Amino acid sequence: MNRLKIAFIGAGSAVWSSTIVIDLLINKGLKNLDIWLMDINDWRLNLIYGFAKRYIEELKSDARVFKTKDRREAIRDADFVVNSAMAGGHWYYERMREVSEEHGYYRGINSVEWNMVSDYHTIWGYYQFKLILDIARDIEELAPDAWFINVANPVFELSTLITRETRVKYIGLCHGHLGFLKAVEVLGIRLAEEKLGERVNALCAARDPRGYATLFKVVDLRELEVEMSGFNHVIWLTKFRYGGEDSYRYVDEWVERDAEEYWRVWREHVTSPFDIDLSPAAVDMYRTYGLLPIGDTVRGGTWKYHWNLKTK
């Protein structure tokens, strides 16, 4: 039986690579995998290689894992090429943003989508665009039948470039849609009070496991129907139904009855700058546009939320 070759470019991106490797190895429908890990950083490459090798051994999988610093070797005859590389790495990224700020550019995201003059694409983006185009050219030459799956940012702009300038079979992936789970949290908070007479709003705001345990009792995920529309960093919850009924009414109830308490507790416990899916800005955007913003949509926003650091 032919083996399936999957190449990871920028495999040293440990969060992405380890997650995808796990998904591949626990998928019982995938057999005879050859996983090729490519990165230019020895330490990062060896880290993810050691992880993958051990995981394969513990699962007693028939998969094989290889490592290389040669991008063309990884791509040659691949069936799938997954890219998570950042040109120059995070150090270069931050240095370019510092230089940009010295010349008045705004440190932000979504400059194209929200019409900001930020540094995200205008200053830092060139080498990232060049890198992904070089990878796509290698695929055209060395693995013309492969699917090119890109998870590196900026996904929307890179996807536009590749689909316009190359002939590769391409998919751009953004995981931001998973932010819909915060809408499910709101649904559960309201259902817990409606069905059980329990108030778990503050517990959920504090990220207390007891609150989420109650949510699992009242929310049947099989009854949930959601749809997100948009593109990378600009995603909206366009359908939110539970038990066949529109569930945006639960969002409205939460905004009216629970949001202020939630924010008060949330501010005391929040530890991540990305934990903003139910923030005041998210609710303000919902009131403005009529749809709940998902994931980084909130973090980007428009100039309204970025006049100064306090506002942001």
- State the catalytic residues: 175, 296
Spatial contact of 301 and 106, defined as CB atoms under 8 Å apart: no
Q: Distance between CA atoms of 297 and 258, rounded to whole angstroms?
A: 22
Locus of tokens 């550019």: 105
Q: Distance between CA atoms of 69 and 39, rounded to whole angstroms?
A: 5
The region that residue 265 occupies, defined by phi over 0 for left and psi between -120 and 50 for alpha, beta otherwise, is alpha
Number of residues assigned to the chain = 312
The backbone torsions φ and ψ at residue 225, rounded to the nearest 5 degrees and listed phi first, read -135, 115
Q: Distance between CA atoms of 49 and 269, rounded to whole angstroms?
A: 36
Q: Distance between CA atoms of 39 and 283, rounded to whole angstroms?
A: 41
Spatial contact of 117 and 111, defined as CB atoms under 8 Å apart: yes
Spatial contact of 155 and 161, defined as CB atoms under 8 Å apart: no
